[in-house]
């Protein structure tokens, strides 16, 4: 039957279902995804199709209106990616109807992601929508499905704390900076160490609008390279003393076996800075900053352990938000399925009106009337028809939201008025 929720299908794999080697094999690059979608639409008799493909998941969604099944969708994917049906089928999950809708919404909200609540996945869903529009493979249902998923993802982020709090060491350091300084633009940051961690820290600070960035490193050449990349200012370790009195934020990430910042150095700097707040984040192992620095007034010394504690706390809070997100998903799934069920009523409404209108016009044409009488009869019968149809139309519109009862009501109206059973897929103007 038209617009049966069972026609909403999905097949996919993710980080829980398959190892990384397998996920790599079936990941789609953007252009490849467009080509696959075009082939899939043709292979599935013009059904709406779309695809979400990230490093952690590949999910293929389709709206079946022409008797396609999950098996057809799987066969298509398997052929395209050269998968072994016997060996690889176990790496996939399959959902149909409400569960398929729910799966896309769970993905969009980030509660199905490897890093709970990660914000990038919503962008991936947007890309999936753009890809299906670009390759012209998604009709009114597919587009509505994706648009509702995007709205669901936005609501989850706005109404809950599912995406709040830093989840990486570099972001945790930036979060600490924001908790001390209202605005990073007038502030100076000093990054000591131009290795991988130092680079990440410098990039994050630059992205979050730090005013001035000093990069100190044993090798001035590496400091220069990172400074060029992050629009910073390179300095040698011998200038640390001077740089420290300019800095509001210090991030150290060196592999030095002994501390490079001791309490007397920081005390001297604080005196010059009139004891203003100073954040020091020591990401080095072994530690770069003498622990006595933590006792100096208005100095906030954090290390890798405290940043990890922050990340764990954020994860715990995100987990507590999952039930709230699930409630939002349930609301959006209901809303989408109500709309989808409404597609059943639209053709009946159109056919009923068209059939009675034809009958009305035939009867007027058959009658022997003067032009004035014809005009009057046209007006009277049109008004009468509207009055007669008012109640059945109301019942038809209600039927969209009544599930099985609604379907029975539609059938009854078809029988009473002698309408033909439907054979067309829903059209955009039916909505």
DSSP state of 65: S
* 304 touching another protein, by CB under 8 A: no
**Secondary structure (DSSP) of 24-71:** HHH---HHHHHHHHHHHHHHTTT-EEEEEE-SSEEEEEEE-SSS--HH
Which range binds another protein by CB under 8 A, 22-30, 121-129, 308-316, 355-363?
308-316
Q: Which residue has the tokens 């060996």?
A: 87
| Contact between residue 293 and residue 262 where contact means Cβ atoms under 8 Å apart | yes
Q: Which is nearer to another protein, 184 or 396 (CB)?
A: 184
How many angstroms separate the most distant Cα atoms in the chain?
Answer: 111
* 302 touching another protein, by CB under 8 A: yes
Shortest distance, CB of residue 57 to another protein, whole angstroms? Answer: 30
* 310 touching another protein, by CB under 8 A: yes
Active site residues: 55
| Contact between residue 318 and residue 161 where contact means Cβ atoms under 8 Å apart | yes
Which range binds another protein by CB under 8 A, 125-133, 177-185, 203-211, 280-288?
177-185
Shortest distance, CB of residue 294 to another protein, whole angstroms? Answer: 7
Q: Which is nearer to another protein, 310 or 410 (CB)?
A: 310
Which range binds another protein by CB under 8 A, 128-136, 203-211, 273-281, 337-345?
273-281
Of 146-165, binders to another protein (CB under 8 A) are: 158-159, 161, 165
DSSP state of 330: H
Q: Please, which residues bridge with residue 244 across strands?
A: none
Q: Give the number of residues in contact with another protein, rule: CB under 8 A.
A: 26
Q: Which is nearer to another protein, 39 or 294 (CB)?
A: 294
Q: Which is nearer to another protein, 258 or 276 (CB)?
A: 276
Distance CA 357, CA 360 (A): 5
Which residues fall within 8 angstroms of residue 179, CB to CB, at 6 or more apart? none
Q: What letters, b where the CB count within 10 A reaches 16 and e where it falls short, cover 313-345?
A: ebeeebeebbeebbebbeebbeebbebbbbbbb
* 274 touching another protein, by CB under 8 A: yes
Q: Strand 8-14: give its sheet, edge to edge.
A: 48-53, 57-63, 8-14, 93-96
Q: Which is nearer to another protein, 171 or 413 (CB)?
A: 171
* 276 touching another protein, by CB under 8 A: yes
* Residues at the interface with another protein (CB under 8 A): 158-159, 161, 165, 176, 178-183, 274-277, 294, 297-298, 300, 302, 306, 309-310, 313-314, 317
């Amino acid at each position: 039957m038209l617009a049966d929720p069972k026609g909403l299908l999905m097949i996919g794999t993710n980080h829980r279902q398959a190892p990384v080697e397998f996920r790599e094999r079936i990941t789609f690059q953007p252009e490849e995804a467009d080509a696959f979608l075009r082939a899939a639409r043709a292979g599935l008799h013009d059904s709406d199709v779309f695809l979400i493909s990230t490093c952690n998941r590949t999910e293929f969604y389709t709206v079946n209106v022409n008797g396609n099944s999950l098996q057809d969708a799987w066969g298509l994917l398997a052929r395209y990616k050269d998968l072994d049906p016997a060996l690889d089928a176990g790496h996939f999950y399959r959902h149909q109807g409400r569960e398929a809708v729910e799966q896309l919404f769970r993905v969009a909200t980030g509660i199905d992601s490897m890093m709970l609540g990660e914000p990038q996945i919503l962008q991936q869903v947007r890309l999936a929508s753009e890809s299906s529009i670009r390759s012209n493979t998604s009709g009114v249902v597919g587009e509505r499905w994706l648009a509702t998923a995007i709205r669901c993802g936005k609501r989850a982020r706005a109404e809950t704390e599912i995406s709040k709090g830093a989840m990486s060491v570099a972001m945790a350091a930036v979060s600490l900076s924001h908790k001390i300084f209202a605005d990073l633009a007038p502030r100076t940051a000093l990054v000591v160490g131009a290795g991988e961690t130092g680079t990440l820290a410098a990039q994050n600070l630059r992205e979050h609008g730090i005013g001035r960035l000093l990069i100190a490193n044993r090798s001035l050449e590496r400091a220069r390279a990172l400074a060029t990349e992050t629009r910073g200012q390179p300095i040698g370790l011998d200038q640390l003393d001077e740089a420290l009195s300019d800095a509001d934020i210090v991030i150290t990430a060196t592999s030095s076996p002994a501390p490079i910042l001791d309490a007397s150095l920081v005390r001297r700097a604080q005196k010059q800075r009139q004891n203003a707040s100073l954040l020091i984040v020591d990401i080095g192992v072994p530690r770069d900053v003498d622990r006595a620095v933590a006792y100096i007034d208005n100095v906030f010394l954090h290390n890798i352990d405290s940043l990890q504690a922050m990340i764990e706390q954020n994860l715990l809070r995100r987990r507590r938000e999952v039930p709230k997100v699930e409630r939002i998903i349930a609301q959006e799934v209901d809303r989408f399925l109500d709309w989808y069920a409404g597609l059943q009523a639209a053709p009946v409404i159109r056919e009923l009106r068209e059939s009675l209108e034809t009958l009305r016009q035939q009867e007027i044409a058959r009658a022997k009337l003067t032009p004035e009488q014809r005009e009057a009869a046209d007006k009277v019968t049109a008004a009468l028809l509207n009055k007669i149809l008012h109640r059945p139309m109301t019942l038809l519109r209600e039927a969209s939201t009544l599930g099985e009862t609604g379907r029975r009501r539609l059938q009854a109206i078809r029988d009473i008025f002698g309408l033909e059973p439907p054979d067309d897929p829903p059209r955009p103007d039916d909505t």
